[in-house]
């Protein structure tokens, strides 16, 4: 490891007291496992510990390989239960056990409701996801793609757990969460995990981006991620299986956009 390489910034996951890296890594669509494992190991050596997967991504086995490569203690692993498996306590536990088997671990750090089931009540969904924590299969629970109203219902339905995050789409072209989801999460000490944060690798070249890129010496990907991280609750999880892309992503932390640059991008 290059010891002089600055470790990337850390943030707290919700109000758990758990330190996670300000940038996490998504895994949807990883296809070249060997290349991906090397790129992920590089990121972990530089302080990235947050890794995101889901039972429907077919990448839990890839994350299992990463865990064995870098060591379980160096990672904070999130997976997600698909709504179709949330319909009973038994099916939710079966899904979680299936995920753990593919990951090759006994407990995940965080499990999310991938998106709200469209006919079940939120309280039933929360009861079932809480059972995963009660069984000791996850340390924390959270939600994804929940509106403020759904988060309110979820938070008031918990019996013994807290909802530590909401994972939502957030990037420079999709900023509606700034109006309601982010303020709600900040007020209630929840993290906002930002998915598709670099718009699939081609951030929109807004007016101002070029000027900010020249004045900061950073790329549009780095500026976009730093822009999202101006909220301390936000944890972007870009996906890359390409070492050069991961290096660029990691260069989005350790510095801050000036207020005038934020205003220009805003």
Residues at the contact surface with ligand NAP, assessed by CB under 6 A: 26-29, 52, 114-115, 144-145, 167, 195-201, 221, 237-242, 245, 248-249
Contact 66, 41 (CB under 8 A): yes
Q: How far is the CB of 161 from ligand NAP (least distance, A)?
A: 19
Q: Which is nearer to ligand NAP, 137 or 221 (CB)?
A: 221
What is the length of the chain?
266
Q: Pick between residue 257 and residue 259 the one whose CB is nearest to ligand NAP.
A: 257
Min dist. Cβ of residue 43 to ligand NAP (A): 11
139 versus 218: smaller Cβ distance to ligand NAP: 218
Angle subtended at Cα 14 by Cα 11 and Cα 20, rounded to the nearest 5 degrees: 30
- Least distance from ligand NAP to the Cβ atom of residue 260, Å: 25
18 vs 52, which CB is nearer to ligand NAP? 52
**Nearest CB to ligand NAP, comparing residues 54 and 90:** 54
Least Cβ distance, residue 235 to ligand NAP (angstroms) = 11
Alpha-helix runs per DSSP H in the chain:
33-45, 60-70, 89-103, 122-134, 148-157, 181-187, 209-216, 220-228, 243-250, 259-265
Rg (CA), the chain: 18
Comparing CB distances to ligand NAP, the nearer of 27 and 138 is: 27
What is the residue-wise DSSP string for 109-142?
Answer: EEEEESS--SSS-HHHHHHHHHHHHHTTSEEEEE
Report how far apart, in Å, the C-alpha atoms of 80 and of each of 84, 144, 145, 201, 241 are.
12, 9, 12, 23, 20
CB nearer to ligand NAP: pick between 65 and 240: 240
**Percent helix / strand / coil, the chain, rounded to 5:** 45, 20, 40
Q: 163-169 and 138-144 as β-strands: parallel, antiparallel, unpaired? A: parallel
Q: How far is the CB of 18 from ligand NAP (least distance, A)?
A: 19
Q: How far is the CB of 259 from ligand NAP (least distance, A)?
A: 26
Query: What's the CA gap between 194 and 22, in Å, rounded?
Result: 11
Position with the least CB separation from ligand NAP: 26
Q: In angstroms, give the least distance from the CB of 251 to ligand NAP.
A: 9
């Amino acid at each position: 490891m290059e010891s002089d390489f600055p470790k990337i910034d850390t943030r707290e996951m919700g109000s758990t007291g758990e330190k996670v890296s300000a940038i996490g890594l998504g895994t949807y669509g990883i296809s070249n496992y060997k290349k991906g494992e090397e790129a992920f190991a590089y990121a972990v050596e530089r302080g990235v510990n947050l890794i995101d997967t889901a039972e429907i991504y077919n990448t839990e086995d890839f994350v299992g390989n990463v865990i064995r490569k870098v060591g379980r203690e160096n990672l904070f692993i999130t997976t997600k239960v698909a709504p179709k498996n949330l319909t009973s306590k038994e099916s939710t536990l079966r899904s979680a056990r299936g995920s753990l088997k593919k990951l090759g671990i006994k407990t995940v750090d965080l499990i999310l409701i991938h998106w709200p089931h469209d006919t079940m009540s939120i309280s039933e969904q929360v009861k079932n996801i809480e059972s995963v924590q009660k069984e000791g299969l996850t340390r924390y629970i959270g939600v994804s793609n929940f509106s403020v109203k759904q988060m309110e219902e979820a938070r008031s339905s918990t019996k013994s757990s807290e909802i530590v995050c909401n994972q939502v789409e957030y990037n420079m072209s999709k900023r509606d969460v700034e109006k309601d989801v982010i303020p709600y999460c900040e007020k209630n000490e929840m993290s906002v995990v930002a998915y598709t944060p670099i718009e699939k690798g081609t951030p929109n070249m807004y007016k101002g981006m070029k000027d900010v890129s020249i004045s900061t010496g950073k790329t549009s990907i780095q500026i976009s991620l730093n822009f999202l991280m101006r909220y301390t609750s936000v944890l972007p999880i870009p996906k890359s299986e390409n070492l050069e892309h991961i290096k660029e992503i990691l260069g989005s932390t350790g510095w801050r956009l000036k207020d005038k640059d934020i205003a220009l991008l805003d």
